[in-house]
Every structure is written in structure tokens, then in C-alpha cells.
Amino acid sequence: MAKCPKKEPDWLMISALQHYAYCPRQFALIHIEQAWADNFFTAHGNLLHERVDSYESEQRGDIRYERSVAVRSNALQIRGKLDLLEVEGGSAKKYYPVEYKRGKPKQEPWDKIQLCAQALCLEEMRDTTIESGAMWYWQVRKREHVPFDEELRGITLQMIKEAHSLLMSGQTPEPIADQKRCKACSLNDLCEPAVFRRDHSSAYIEGIFSDPTRSESNGD
């Protein structure tokens, strides 16, 4: 179901960038059509975040550990919450954002985009530069160090721009081609990508037999 295009851009939740990077249709189903379905993975991820949120802030040596820190960027119109922010030093502070995830490190940059967007917010809020952060993966109980290099910053800014523009359009795009990704998607039942693809292939076949120009160009 498509909605009317908007005149003013909405604020984008940083967690939505991960949905967009995974699949623009998933992003649209959740953030435009307000459809959502929990599967085991998302339910477990929510539980993990609830647990992380319940920890108190604390000081250990020269580092202060702040939990559930709200961040926003007026320039990028994004906002969200950091799982953990490590703040080191006195007047010249060094910030190190950490995001917790249920699974394990991925080849694709989905999680890193979310973390980098959080860092971009902090940079604007604190008028500073943040060189790196980390992902912490529950499944492997391991931290992955993430440098905020030019490439990751570029991809993140591009995703923010595209996600805003899709949100403004109010249109839900077609399913992605990657069927493996669809299998792991919590919205598979709502999205019905297989039905959509089947409809498309039958329309294509019908088009071949009803379009005379196609027959000519094929030399029939």
C-alpha cells in the first residue's frame, strides 16, 4: 500500500537505516506501512537490548561508561539511542560508541552503518571527530573494532539520503532479488516476495504473447 508523498522530511530513526540497507522494501513495510512481525531473531535482539539498557552508568579509571544515550543530528534529520558510550579523558574527551547485536559479525556493512550514523550524531552534538567505535556480538561474545573511515562515512550518508527520500515518496518498492536474504527476513510472511515474483513472471510471459513488436524483433 503506497502513501502520499510528503512535503517535509520526517526524522529518521537510526535503527531504520539497518532495515533500509538490508532491503528497501523491508524499510518501507515497517516505516511507511507500519507493518511489523517479530521472529525469533528480532525478539531475542529486543531482549538483549532491554538487558543492556538496564545497566547503570559507571566510572572505571579514566573511562566513563554511559548506557542508552540519546543522540540526534539536526543536519541529517536522524535520531536514535546508543547502547553504550565510552567517554575517556578530562577536558579533551574521546568518545567511543558501542552497539550490541544478537548475532555475529557480518560481511555486509548493515550494522556498521547504524554505528557510524550514531557517531555522526555525536560529532554534531559534541563538535568533535570520532575516529572509531565497536560492535559487540552476543553470539560470539566478541567486540569488533569499527573505524569510521571515508568509505563507511560515504555509504552511511548515502543510505541516510536514500532512506529519507523513500520515506518522503510514501512508495513501497518491489522485493529484492536476493532470495537468501528474504528467507531470513522477519517480514517474509507479510511481504510475500515469492507471490510478487510469480506475478511478475506471469505478467512477463503474457506480455511476450500480447506485444506484436516483441514477436517481430525475435524474428518470429
Which listed residue (191, 205, 215, 220) binds ligand SF4 by CB under 6 A?
191
Q: b vs e for 52-73, b when ≥16 Cβ sit within 10 Å of the residue's Cβ?
A: beeeeeeeeeeeebebebebbb
Q: If binding is defined by CB under 6 A, does position 188 make contact with ligand SF4?
A: yes
Which listed residue (14, 23, 78, 115) binds ligand SF4 by CB under 6 A?
23
CB 133 within 8 A of CB 41: no
Q: If binding is defined by CB under 6 A, does position 185 make contact with ligand SF4?
A: yes
Which listed residue (26, 73, 114, 172) binds ligand SF4 by CB under 6 A?
26
Cβ-based nearer residue to ligand SF4, 23 or 163: 23
Cβ-based nearer residue to ligand SF4, 102 or 181: 181
Cβ-based nearer residue to ligand SF4, 68 or 188: 188
Q: If binding is defined by CB under 6 A, does position 155 make contact with ligand SF4?
A: no
Residues 160-179 that bind ligand SF4 (CB under 6 A): 175-176
* Nearest distance, CB of residue 28 and ligand SF4, angstroms: 8
Strands 78-88 and 94-101, bridge-based pairing: antiparallel
- The x, y and z cell numbers of residue 35, run together, are 507493518
Q: Rounded distance, CA 60 to CA 88, Å?
A: 10
Q: Residue 57, Cα to own-chain centre: how many angstroms?
A: 26
Which listed residue (14, 25, 101, 137) binds ligand SF4 by CB under 6 A?
25
Q: Rounded distance, CA 152 to CA 149, Å?
A: 6
How many Cβ atoms sit within 10 Å of the Cβ of residue 174?
Answer: 11
Q: Rounded distance, CA 16 to CA 30, Å?
A: 9
Residues of this chain that interact with ligand SF4 (CB under 6 A) are 23, 25-26, 29, 175-176, 181-182, 185, 187-188, 191, 193
